[in-house]
Every structure is written in structure tokens, then in C-alpha cells.
């Protein structure tokens, strides 16, 4: 007799998976940083070709400003069919060389990043990578017309941090391990999906808006494939967006990453020990705060009986309502979810109408960014509609089959434990910041005391020297007044 096929275990619904990922403090702390990284990279990738084409403008080199001493005759020598063709006048050739130099620099420096990771730790090298990404982007502000060699050098320097992008995956692995400490399960798929999905969402407007800004500044399109000389506003907009804006957003990402809680090897080691204790059913100390934490596990039957539907609505207020009157609580959730779905659908319909009505503005330079904004709003509102609709369906499931009181109490225990853990981490962070500030104040007080002691010692030395050199004063009479020097 053949064994019956094994039933595939039910997977957690999409909305609880997303909300559960956001409850991981290590992941939620880095999500804005990853979004900022995506914005910075998207801005640069959207404008890097225009940076070479319009800012460096190799087609418009002259004998006076060219580092190679060539005159490109306002682009006529960049035409491949011209008898006077010179490949040094082509922006495509320069762009290819710059990209190649960045890739070569990335390949050459990869072993150095690996060596630094082994010596200084992956978190420190990961922060260094983020800081170098911002610093090398700022270099593009220094480019100007005919600066071919500078463009080549800056692109090569920009390739150095590209070699260290593997460190982001190493950090994500630690975050997934910490989620296992919190939940007792591995959720690699949810974290990988969420980390790659959200940056793509923010990358869409980050790629489109710079092009709209460049167009609004008076971009002159190519004629017969020949790049035209651009107004000063266009050239500066490309430099500012590619250098200043992209670099500043990358610098913001670096600053956010400095708040990453799993920052030392000791914390990672404690996390592994805590996971082992949780697998044995024992509580373990949180590696970030030291707070004792116990996992609350649910059986597949409990998940299907209402845990997953309750997980569509985070927070303690929802659980408190279900502890009182489950039917009334489910009706309230279904009504509020329906209102949210209607509101999101209204915004989506208005955005679609606005996009359709604004497509004609693509032909104008001043308002060509409006259709781009409307398209972004359409995408975001569509996501909100799906999110609210799934929550409405979950509320309907809770109304059809309210969870038992015992199950609600178990969910309450789980959420209370997570809330206590987050509060303990907040207090530990505040205590750490207060301790650092106190140490700084004590150090300043010690320095002030040392300065006062040095000043007092100098005054004493000066007084002693004056007493040994100056003659003793002579006083006249009993009045204590100095005696007159006259005869």
C-alpha cells in the first residue's frame, strides 16, 4: 500500500507576514536605510549617462579645455561616419570606459573588503561601505565640461564600495536569526521578499522624477542622435541630483545604519544561545536588552482557528476588545476595514483619472513631472487597496468564526511579551545614551578641574617668584600707608 501524500502545511497569509517582519526591531530599524540606499542608487543610475553626456560633454571639447588637446568641432568629430571621426569625442565611449573602470575597481577591491570583514567585523565594514558610497557620490559635484580624466577617476572610486554590497546580505542573515529568536521559526522568504520589494517601490519615483526635473529645467533633446549643448540649469540639475542629492541620501542611510542594534559579535553569539534555549522550551535573555523573553508557540490548528486572522490587526487594543465581546469586536474591525478599502479605492480611481488627464502634460517642459507623480500615486494606492481588502476579508473570517477565549488570551500573552521586550529595548537604549552623556559630562568636569588645578599652580608659582625678587614694602607710621620716597 502506498502511503498517502503528505499534505503541504498551510502558509501564513501575506498581511500577517508583512506585519510580522515589521515587528522585528532589527529589521524595522534598517528598512528606512535600505529605502534610502535604493533612492540614492536609482537617482545615480537614472542620470549617470546624462552626467557624461551633458556635464562632461566630450562632443564639445575644444583644444583649449580638453585634457587630450583635441577639438571635437561641436560634435561633428563624434559621428562615426565622418572622415574626421575621433572616438575620444564620443560620450558613449567615455561612458563605457567609466563603467568598465568602476567594475574593474570593484573586482580588484573585493578581496580587500573580505580581509577587512575578517579583521574588523562585518558591521564595521558594512558601515564603511555605506559611508564610502555617499562620499564617492559627492565627488561628481566636481565634474565640469571636458573633465574626462576626472570622470574616469571618480567612476573608478565609485566602484570601490560596489564591491562590498554582499555585506548587506550578511547583515540580513543576522536579522533573520533574530526573528527566529523572537518567533521560533525561520522566515527567510518573507524577509528577502520584503527587503527587495520596498526598495523597488521607492526606486520607481526616484528614477522617474530626476528625468522630469531635468526636462523642467529646459532639456534640449538630441538631434539625429547628436547630443545638444544644454542650458546651465540642466547641467547643474544633473550635477546636483547625481552628486549632492544622491550623496546626501546615501549619507542619511549611513546615519540610520549606525543605530543597528545587532552591532557586535557578542550580541550575535548571545542570540544563537537564546535560539538554542528557546528550542528546548526555556526562556532566554534578549541579546539587545538582557530582558528575559519566552516564545509563545501556536499549533497549526490554532493558527487556522483565528491566530492568523487576528494577526491582520496588530496591537493590544484589538485583543482587549476580543476579550470582552468577540462578535462586536469583529463587526467593528470589518466596518473600519471596509471604510479603509473604500477610501483607498477612491484615491486609486482619482489617481487613475488624474494620470489619464495629465498625459498631455508630457509634451510640456514645465509640468512633465505631473504624470509621473500621478503614476506613483496610482501604484501606492493600488497596494493600499489590496492591503485593506485582505484585512476586510480577515475581519469577515473573525466575524464568521470568532476565536475562543483561551486562544485570544494566548495571543494576548504573545503580544504582551513582545511589547514588554520592545519597551525593555527602549529603556536599555535610553540608559545607554544617558550613560554616554554622563560619561561625557564627567569627562568635561574632570578636564575643567585639571585646568583649574594647573591655573592655580601657575598662580602660586608666579606669586612665589614675585615674593623672592621684590623687596619688602616699607610702611610709615601706624597708618599702614607706604612711606614717601621724597626726602
Q: How many helices (H) and strands (E) does the chain have?
A: 16, 4
| Residue 4 predicted with pLDDT over 60 | no
Lowest mean pLDDT among 57-71, 72-86, 212-226, 373-387: 72-86
Q: Under the phi-then-psi rule, with left for phi > 0, alpha for psi from -120 to 50, and beta for the rest, what region is 9?
A: beta
In a domain, 382, yes or no: yes
**Distance, CA of 89 to CA of 50 (rounded, Å):** 15
In a domain, 35, yes or no: yes
Q: Which residues contact 366 (CB under 8 A, 6 or more apart)?
A: 216
Residue 223 exposure: Cα atoms within 13 Å on the Cβ side:
7
Q: Would you state the cell numbers that stand for residue 381, as one nine-digit string?
A: 494606492
In a domain, 149, yes or no: yes
In a domain, 427, yes or no: no
Q: Quick one: pLDDT band at residue 136, thresholds 50, 70, 90?
A: very high
Q: Quick one: pLDDT band at residue 372, thresholds 50, 70, 90?
A: confident
Q: What is the pLDDT of residue 369?
A: 79
Task: Average the pLDDT over 200-209 and give the result.
Answer: 81
**Distance, CA of 421 to CA of 436 (rounded, Å):** 22
Q: What is the pLDDT of residue 114?
A: 93
Residue 318 exposure: Cα atoms within 13 Å on the Cβ side:
20
Task: Based on the fold, state whether residues 172 and 307 are members of the same structural domain.
Answer: no
Segment 269-282, tens digit of pLDDT: 999 999 999 999 89
State the average pLDDT for the chain.
Answer: 86
| Residue 70 predicted with pLDDT over 90 | no
What do you get for the CA distance between the two ends of the chain, in Å? 140
| Residue 227 predicted with pLDDT over 50 | yes
Which one has a higher pLDDT value, 112 or 65? 112
Q: What is the pLDDT of residue 435?
A: 60
Q: What is the pLDDT of residue 161?
A: 92
Task: Based on the fold, state whether residues 238 and 344 are members of the same structural domain.
Answer: no
Q: Which residues contact 199 (CB under 8 A, 6 or more apart)?
A: 34, 35, 37, 38
Lowest mean pLDDT among 317-331, 336-350, 353-367, 438-452: 438-452
| Residue 206 predicted with pLDDT over 90 | no
Q: What is the pLDDT of residue 142?
A: 93
Q: What is the pLDDT of residue 472?
A: 47
Task: Average the pLDDT over 17-26 and give the result.
Answer: 89
Task: Based on the fold, state whether residues 246 and 332 are members of the same structural domain.
Answer: no
Q: What is the CATH number of the domain that holds 70?
A: 1.20.1250
In a domain, 449, yes or no: no
Q: What is the pTM of this model?
A: 0.80
Task: Based on the fold, state whether residues 394 and 318 are members of the same structural domain.
Answer: yes
Query: How many domains does the chain fold into?
Result: 2
Measured in whole angstroms, the distance separating CA 414 from the mean position of its chain's CA atoms is 30
In a domain, 3, yes or no: no
Q: What is the pLDDT of residue 447?
A: 63
| Residue 481 predicted with pLDDT over 60 | no
Task: Average the pLDDT over 207-219 and give the result.
Answer: 85
Domain end point (choices 421, 453, 475): 421
**Distance, CA of 209 to CA of 373 (rounded, Å):** 8
The residue behind cell 496588530 is 314
Q: What is the pLDDT of residue 11?
A: 80
Task: Average the pLDDT over 303-330 and give the result.
Answer: 92
Going from the C-alpha of 60 to that of each of 99, 399, 415, the distances in angstroms are 21, 71, 65
Task: Based on the fold, state whether residues 110 and 222 are members of the same structural domain.
Answer: yes
In a domain, 195, yes or no: no
Task: Based on the fold, state whether residues 61 and 154 are members of the same structural domain.
Answer: yes
Domain end point (choices 386, 421, 456): 421
For the chain, how big is the Rg over CA atoms in Å?
33
Q: What is the pLDDT of residue 373?
A: 85
DSSP 3-state of 184: coil
Task: Based on the fold, state whether residues 45 and 160 are members of the same structural domain.
Answer: yes
**Distance, CA of 28 to CA of 450 (rounded, Å):** 45
Q: Quick one: pLDDT band at residue 475, thresholds 50, 70, 90?
A: very low
Segment 145-186, tens digit of pLDDT: 989 999 999 999 999 998 998 899 899 999 999 999 999 888
**Distance, CA of 132 to CA of 137 (rounded, Å):** 8
Q: Would you state the cell numbers that stand for residue 130, as one nine-digit string?
A: 555605506
The one-character DSSP state at 244 is: I
Instruction: For residue 307, give its domain range.
Output: 299-421
DSSP 3-state of 456: helix
Lowest mean pLDDT among 15-24, 237-246, 331-340: 15-24
Q: Quick one: pLDDT band at residue 236, thresholds 50, 70, 90?
A: very high
**Distance, CA of 442 to CA of 153 (rounded, Å):** 46
Lowest mean pLDDT among 23-27, 316-320, 367-371, 437-441: 437-441
Q: Is the distance from CB of 181 to CB of 278 less than 8 angstroms?
A: yes
Lowest mean pLDDT among 198-212, 222-236, 405-419: 198-212
Domain end point (choices 363, 386, 421): 421
Task: Based on the fold, state whether residues 245 and 305 are members of the same structural domain.
Answer: no
| Residue 8 predicted with pLDDT over 90 | no
Reference 148, options 186, 112, 187, 96; nearest CA is: 96
Task: Based on the fold, state whether residues 89 and 237 are members of the same structural domain.
Answer: yes
| Residue 124 predicted with pLDDT over 50 | yes
**Distance, CA of 105 to CA of 308 (rounded, Å):** 48
Task: Based on the fold, state whether residues 97 and 145 are members of the same structural domain.
Answer: yes
| Residue 257 predicted with pLDDT over 70 | yes
Task: Average the pLDDT over 320-328 and give the result.
Answer: 91
Going from the C-alpha of 130 to that of each of 60, 115, 127, 137, 369, the distances in angstroms are 35, 17, 5, 11, 30
Task: Based on the fold, state whether residues 31 and 145 are members of the same structural domain.
Answer: yes
Helix (H) or strand (E) holding 292: strand 292-293
**Phi/psi at 294 (5° precision):** -120, 130
Reference 28, options 262, 351, 353; nearest CA is: 262
**Distance, CA of 293 to CA of 181 (rounded, Å):** 9
Task: Based on the fold, state whether residues 258 and 305 are members of the same structural domain.
Answer: no
In a domain, 447, yes or no: no
CB neighbours (10 Å) of residue 430?
10
Cα 380–Cα 133–Cα 121 angle in degrees, nearest 5: 105
Amino acid at each position: 500500500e502506498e502511503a498517502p501524500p503528505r499534505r503541504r502545511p498551510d502558509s501564513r497569509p501575506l498581511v500577517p507576514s508583512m506585519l510580522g517582519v515589521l515587528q522585528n526591531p532589527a529589521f524595522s530599524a534598517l528598512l528606512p536605510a535600505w529605502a534610502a540606499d535604493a533612492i540614492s542608487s536609482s537617482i545615480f543610475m537614472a542620470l549617470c549617462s546624462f552626467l557624461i553626456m551633458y556635464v562632461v560633454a566630450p562632443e564639445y571639447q575644444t583644444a583649449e579645455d580638453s585634457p587630450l588637446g583635441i577639438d571635437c568641432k561641436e560634435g561633428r568629430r563624434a559621428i562615426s561616419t565622418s572622415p574626421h571621426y575621433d572616438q575620444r569625442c564620443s560620450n558613449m565611449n567615455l561612458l563605457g570606459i567609466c563603467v568598465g573602470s568602476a567594475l574593474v575597481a570593484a573586482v580588484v577591491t573585493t578581496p580587500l573588503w573580505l580581509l577587512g570583514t575578517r579583521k574588523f567585523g562585518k558591521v564595521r565594514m558594512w558601515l564603511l561601505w555605506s559611508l564610502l558610497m555617499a562620499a564617492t557620490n559627492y565627488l561628481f559635484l566636481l565634474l565640469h565640461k571636458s573633465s574626462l580624466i576626472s570622470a574616469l577617476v571618480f567612476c573608478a572610486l565609485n566602484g570601490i564600495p560596489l564591491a562590498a554590497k554582499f555585506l548587506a546580505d550578511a547583515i540580513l542573515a543576522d536579522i533573520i536569526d533574530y526573528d527566529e529568536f523572537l518567533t521560533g521559526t525561520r522566515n527567510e522568504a518573507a524577509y528577502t521578499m520584503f527587503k527587495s520589494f520596498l526598495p523597488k517601490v521607492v526606486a520607481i519615483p526616484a528614477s522617474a522624477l530626476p528625468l522630469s526635473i531635468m526636462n523642467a529645467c529646459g532639456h534640449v533633446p538630441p538631434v539625429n542622435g547628436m547630443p545638444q549643448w544644454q542650458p546651465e540649469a540642466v547641467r547643474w540639475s544633473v550635477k546636483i541630483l547625481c552628486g549632492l542629492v544622491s550623496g546626501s541620501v546615501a549619507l542619511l542611510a549611513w546615519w540610520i545604519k549606525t543605530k543597528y542594534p545587532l552591532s557586535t559579535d557578542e550580541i550575535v553569539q548571545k542570540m544563537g544561545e537564546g535560539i538554542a534555549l528557546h528550542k528546548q522550551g526555556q526562556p532566554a535573555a534578549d541579546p539587545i536588552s538582557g530582558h528575559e523573553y519566552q516564545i509563545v508557540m501556536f499549533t497549526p490548528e490554532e493558527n487556522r482557528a483565528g491566530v492568523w486572522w487576528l494577526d491582520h490587526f496588530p496591537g493590544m487594543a484589538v485583543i482587549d476588545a476580543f476579550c470582552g465581546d468577540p462578535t462586536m469586536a469583529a463587526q467593528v474591525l470589518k466596518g473600519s476595514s471596509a471604510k479603509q478599502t473604500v477610501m483607498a479605492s477612491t484615491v486609486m480611481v482619482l489617481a487613475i483619472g488624474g494620470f489619464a488627464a495629465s498625459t498631455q502634460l508630457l509634451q510640456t517642459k514645465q509640468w512633465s513631472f505631473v504624470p509621473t507623480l500621478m503614476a506613483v500615486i496610482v501604484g501606492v494606492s493600488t497596494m493600499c487597496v489590496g492591503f485593506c481588502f485582505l484585512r476586510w476579508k480577515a475581519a469577515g473570517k473573525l466575524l464568521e468564526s470568532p476565536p475562543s477565549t483561551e486562544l485570544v488570551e494566548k495571543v494576548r500573552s504573545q503580544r504582551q511579551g513582545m511589547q514588554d521586550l520592545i519597551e525593555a529595548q527602549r529603556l536599555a537604549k535610553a540608559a545607554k545614551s544617558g550613560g554616554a552623556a554622563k560619561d561625557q559630562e564627567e569627562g568635561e568636569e574632570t578636564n575643567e578641574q585639571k585646568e583649574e588645578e594647573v591655573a592655580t599652580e601657575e598662580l602660586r608659582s608666579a606669586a612665589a617668584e614675585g615674593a623672592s625678587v621684590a623687596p619688602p614694602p616699607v610702611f610709615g607710621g601706624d597708618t599702614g600707608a607706604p612711606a614717601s620716597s621724597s626726602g
